Amino acid sequence: MVFKHSRLSCGSSSVVEYNLAKVRAEGSIPFSRSLLLLRIARDAVKRAVSSIPCDVAGVYKMLGANGLVLYVGKAKDLQKRLRSYYNFNQMSDRILAMVGHITELDVIVTQSEAEALLLEAQLIKTLKPKYNIIMRDDKFYPYILLSKHKYPRIVKYRGRKEVGLGKCYGPFISSLVVKLVISALRRAFQLRSCSDNFFASRDRPCIEYEMRNCSAPCTRKISEEDYAKSAHMAHKVLTGKSKELQRELFDSMRKFSDDLDYESAMVYRDRLQALKSIQECVSFQTEMSCDADFVSIYGRHGTYCLQVISFRGGISYGSQPYFVDDGNYESESDVLGMFMLQVYSDPPGKVYVDCVSDYCEIINTALEELLTRKVDVLTAKSHEELKFLRLARNGAMEALNRRLRDKALPAELEELAEFFGLQNPPERIEVYDNSHISGTHPFGVMVVCGKDGLLRKEYRKFKIQTVLNGDDYSMMHEVLFRRFREESSLALPDFVLIDGGRGHISSAIQVLGDLGIPFACMAKGSNRNAGEEVFYLPDGRKICLDPNSKLMLYMRKIRDEAHRFAITSHRSSRDKTLSSAILCAIPGVGGARRGALITYFGSIDGVKRARADEISKVPGISMKLAQRICTYLKQGTQS
């Protein structure tokens, strides 16, 4: 199927272009000061609507100064959709701000709504308009990978599925589920998870073999044929054939038991128990043998949440909420269509949605053209399908309500702007804090928040590089300098909050002064109790807030989040260093023996789990030294 579309012609022009204002913006124009531009835009859009045929579907592009694409939208009825842009009372502040920047309107008429949906998605992905909410996975969700080796390894994998990589199962939405499933599969089938270098360097089994998590193919403790059988059984589990495999394992266990081969029977018993633990890892069990997703949408106050519950081979791969903060959609079906075409890079064969069946056909047509393969977008009919859609609906409602609770209310941001003398409510707030103990393992952090609450994907950690004496002021100067240096690609904040006192002001002014970014330092009172906080401003003033006000509660919340993130970063660095040094602190264990221990057991944790008789098998480690190592690691003191 090939779609064809045409741009609407007006006279000799191939594009409907309307000059909405001869005034050109020189930066951001707050809508409250752009009423004239808005009225000019409304009148011009009215004239444009009069030239568009009735009841035609299509896509429209709103252009700003220098032809910059501000927004791309689609409509089943272009006339009706564009009329909404000159009804200011129905617009959000965000849409009003966009309309105030419009200089041209480009309309493309399509033959169907499905074509308009597909074209909209393609234009948004290509042009990346400023005012479109482009929903995307900004991280790769994890897969379980059975590598394409002679002896396949089973590991968690993030990234694109590539030819020759091996068999990927997923994506899973929960990393914890991946970890638990891999652990259970290794207990059941003794599959290796080590790197190729570690595998190739072995001349004796590692601790994983002793713990019965691996069959030690590195030292040929298992034949290639038997290992392949184990890998195939893991493949059956990951493709939803657990019940079939359970019957096979149970029959084998009973056969060995009848033959009085109890050792072999115990192996199959353990495998059955491991399969049971895998079933406990997943949220639901279903009789469906196909791959399917259940997608439900729920919206409030111009914000939408789409909850996706994923099944692959009858196994639940978890659920994930997606959010859209864009009140520029006519219906929930439009949001759903946008989601399906912009987010789904690899949808399953069936997707069940809670929208009208007619719109399912529109999405089906667009997806088939986009992906060049069949994807069935369906409405739920059976009891089981309806049950999972209800679960997705409930999940969407809960996730959206939680998100709305966590968001900073406009009133709080307006109060913040008034309290600190900002021209407009801040859209991006950055909070900074340091953490160290007497100058050791120092870390600085940046936490980002705004009207959508805490933006965790924007967080940054800074390992202090130039300050060695525990000077907190110099550390903060380094963090701010590295954050705001010229090559930084991050957007500038509207307001900066520093967890610190009067002494941090000069450090911040040296970096932020020339940038003109407003900031304040938030310090605890003399007793360091909540409720006694004060704010130090660049002009030297010290101001206070009502300790029980909503703004004060909000400021504490974002300050505490920065403090938590800083402490977590510091502890992680400290624990990593201590774990690395702990072996060398044991009398008789130097660098060479430390390396031998880690090579043999795979990690520090592997050494800690090992018994003395296992440690004594490491070349160069006597039984006496092995006992000393165990005692030291167990008690945390030198023997």
**Number of Cβ atoms within 10 Å of the Cβ of 371:** 14
Contact (CB, 8 A) for 303 and 389:
no
E-strand spans in 459-585?
Answer: 460-463, 495-499, 519-523, 534-536, 542-543
Q: Between 300 and 88, where is the model more confident? A: 300
Averaged pLDDT, 390-418: 83
Can you tell me the distance from the alpha carbon of 395 to that of 388, in angstroms, rounded to the nearest whole number?
10
Q: Are 486 and 597 in the same domain?
A: no
Domain-located, residue 179:
yes
What pTM was estimated for this model as a whole?
A: 0.56
Which pLDDT value is given to residue 592? Answer: 80
Are both 99 and 147 inside the same structural domain?
Answer: no
Last residue of a domain, one of 69, 99, 127: 127
Structure-block tokens of residue 155: 């590991």
Q: Of 237, 152, 142, which Cα lies nearest the Cα of 194?
A: 152
SS3 of residue 184 by DSSP: helix
Indicate the average pLDDT of the chain: 79
pLDDT at 433 over 90: yes
Residue 401 has pLDDT above 70, yes or no: yes
Helix, strand, or coil (residue 169): strand
Q: How does strand 495-499 pair with strand 519-523?
A: parallel
Lowest mean pLDDT among 24-28, 48-52, 231-235: 24-28
Task: State the average pLDDT over residues 463-491.
Answer: 83
pLDDT at 637: 40
Locus of tokens 């000069």: 506
Asked, for residue 287, whether it belongs to a domain, the answer is: no
Please tell me which residue, 236 or 582, carries the higher pLDDT value. Answer: 236
149 and 109 both lie in a single domain: no
94 and 159, same domain (yes or no): no
Same domain, yes or no, for 164 and 273?
A: yes
In a domain, 138, yes or no: no
Q: With a cut of 90, say whether residue 287 has pLDDT above it.
A: no
Strand ranges, E, within 480-518: 495-499
Same domain, 586 and 623: yes
Asked if residue 344 has pLDDT above 60, the reply is: yes
Q: What is the dihedral of CA 162, 166, 167, 173, to 10 degrees?
A: -60
Tell which of 281, 310, 341 closes a domain.
281
51, 59, 54: which is closest to 110 by C-alpha?
Answer: 59
Asked whether residue 573 is assigned to any structural domain, the reply reads: no
Confidence of residue 304 (pLDDT cuts 50, 70, 90): confident
Rounded Cα–Cα distance for residues 568 and 572 (Å):
6
**How many Å apart are CA 432 and CA 473, to the nearest integer?**
12
Reduce the DSSP state of residue 511 to 3 states and report it: helix
Q: What is the CATH number for 92?
A: 3.40.1440.10
User: 197-201, 341-345, 417-421 — which one is most confidently predicted on average?
Assistant: 417-421
Q: What is the pLDDT of residue 564?
A: 92
Angstrom distance (rounded) from CA 406 to CA 402: 6
What is the phi/psi pair of residue 397, to 5°? -65, -45
pLDDT in tens, 572-628: 776 666 666 677 778 888 778 887 887 777 677 778 888 888 888 888 889 999 888
438 and 482 part of one domain: yes
Residues 430, 542 share a domain: yes
Q: How far is CA 41 from CA 23, 60, 80, 113, in A?
A: 11, 15, 16, 26
- Cα–Cα distance, 12 to 14 (Å, whole number): 7
What whole-number distance in Å separates Cα of residue 569 and Cα of residue 548? 30
In the prediction, which pLDDT does 31 show? 38
* Most confidently predicted of 6-15, 118-127, 225-234, 574-583: 225-234
Q: pLDDT value at position 422?
A: 92
d(CA 235, CA 312): 13
User: Of 525, 541, 563, nearest to 533 (Cα)?
Assistant: 525
Total Cβ atoms within 10 A of residue 200:
9
Residue 286 to residue 385: CA distance in whole angstroms: 10
Helix axes 357-371, 113-127, angle to 10 degrees: 50
Checking if the pLDDT of 403 tops 50, the result is yes
Evaluate whether residue 19 is within a structural domain.
yes
**Do 498 and 519 meet the contact criterion of CB atoms below 8 Å apart?**
yes
The CATH number that applies at residue 548 is 3.30.420.340
Q: Which of the four pLDDT bands, split at 50, 70 and 90, describes residue 21?
A: very low
Kindly write down the DSSP assignment for every residue of 85-142, as one continuous string: GG-GGG--HHHHHHHTT--EEEEEEESSHHHHHHHHHHHHHHH--TTS-----SSPPP
Q: Which comes out higher in pLDDT, residue 155 or 88? A: 155
Tell me the sheet residues that pair with 445. Answer: 433, 461
For residue range 56-86, list pLDDT tens digits in order.
Answer: 888 888 888 778 888 888 888 888 888 887 7
Of 268, 228, 237, nearest in space to 250 by CA: 268
d(CA 81, CA 109): 13
* CB-based contacts of 89, cutoff 8 Å, min separation 6: none
For residue 629, pLDDT beyond 60: yes
How large a percentage of the chain has pLDDT more than 70?
80
Mean pLDDT, range 224-230, rounded to an integer: 91
10 — pLDDT class (breaks 50, 70, 90): very low
At residue 529, the pLDDT reads: 63
Contact 299, 305 (CB under 8 A): yes
Residue 150 reports pLDDT greater than 80: yes
Q: How do the residues of the chain divide into helix, strand and coil, expressed in percent and rounded to 5?
A: 45, 20, 35
More confident residue, 340 or 563: 563
* The token pair that represents 272 in the structure block: 């059955």
Q: Cis (ω within 30 of 0) for the bond into 129?
A: no
| Residue 237 domain flag | yes
**For residues 22 and 221, what is the distance between their CA atoms, to the nearest angstrom?**
80
**Last residue of one domain, picked from the residues 343, 371, 406:** 406
Reduce the DSSP state of residue 205 to 3 states and report it. coil
Residues 610 and 592 in one domain: yes
Residue 161 clears pLDDT 60, i.e. is over it? yes
* CA–CA gap between residue 473 and residue 479 (Å, rounded): 10
Backbone φ/ψ region at 190: left (φ over 0), alpha (ψ -120 to 50), beta: left
> Does residue 260 sit in the same domain as residue 151?
yes
Look at residues 283, 317, 297, 546 and name the one whose alpha carbon lies nearest to residue 399: 297
Q: Please, is 260 exposed, middle or buried when counting C-beta atoms within 10 Å of its C-beta (0-12, 13-18, 19+)?
A: exposed
Is 623 inside any structural domain?
Answer: yes
R_g of the chain, CA atoms, integer Å: 31
Residues 189 and 275 reside in one and the same domain:
yes
Question: Strands 542-543 and 534-536, how do they pair?
Answer: antiparallel
Q: What is the pLDDT of residue 28?
A: 41
Give the count of domains, the chain: 5
Backbone angles phi, psi at 296, to 5 degrees: -125, 150
Kindly report, residue by residue over 534-563, the tens digit of the pLDDT: 999 999 899 999 888 989 989 999 999 999
Q: DSSP letters along 52-81, please?
A: SPTT--EEEEEE-GGG-EEEEEEESSHHHH
pLDDT at 19: 36
| Residue 16 pLDDT level (bands cut at 50, 70, 90) | very low
Q: What does the pLDDT average to over 461-474?
A: 83
Q: Which two tokens stand for residue 398?
A: 């809960």
Report how far apart, in Å, the C-alpha atoms of 434 and of each of 472, 569, 626, 637 are: 7, 10, 40, 31
241 in helix, strand or coil?
Answer: coil
Residue 376 lies in a domain: yes
Shared domain for 327 and 308, answered yes or no, is yes
User: Burial, 491: exposed, middle or buried (Cβ in 10 Å; 0-12, 13-18, 19+)?
Assistant: exposed
- Residue-number span of the structural domain to which 506 is assigned: 413-567
Q: What is the spatial distance between Cα 50 and Cα 95, in angstroms, rounded to a whole number? A: 22
